[in-house]
Structure 1
């Protein structure tokens, strides 16, 4: 991999880390580790794999957090309806 490609990948990863909130940071870190390992074994592209894994990990963490928020809202609505006098 050329040095310029590595610099671009590192800059992209740094921007992804900077824009990640606390909830998404864990998804980015986990995804980067998995992507880096997969990229390493797929032709020595660990940095590219880490950047891609970070993006995918952030997306999945955000999706998971949204699903949990929807479940929590549904539970709150069900509890309110159960406690209201009829």
Structure 2
């Protein structure tokens, strides 16, 4: 049985919300959707792609927040 893209997106979204609390969800949902779609087209591994995308998305958002904080501190020091 082939899974439809809508079903895969629903599973990825559900997985994203159940594995991560709402306070830590920044970047996770977008990353899960992108990773789920990429995983689906790369050999029907949508769930694995969604989990990986969620982790990468959260990492990128955290990294961006740290850079913005550093810029703010540098601007205040001047």
The CA distance in 1 between the partners of 2:36 and 2:26, in whole Å, is: 15
Please, what TM-score do these two structures have when normalized by structure 1? Answer: 0.66
The runs of at least 4 aligned residues of structure 1 exceeding 3 Å deviation read none
CA RMSD after TM alignment: 2.3
TM, length-normalised to structure 2: 0.73
Number of residues paired by the alignment? 66
Structure 2: which 5+ runs fail to align?
Answer: 1-14
Higher relative helix content: 1
Instruction: Give CA-to-partner distance per residue, 1:25-81, whole Å, 9 cap, x none.
Output: 231111101100100000111111000100010001000000000000100111xxx
Asked whether 1:37 is paired with 2:37, we answer: yes
Larger Rg: 1
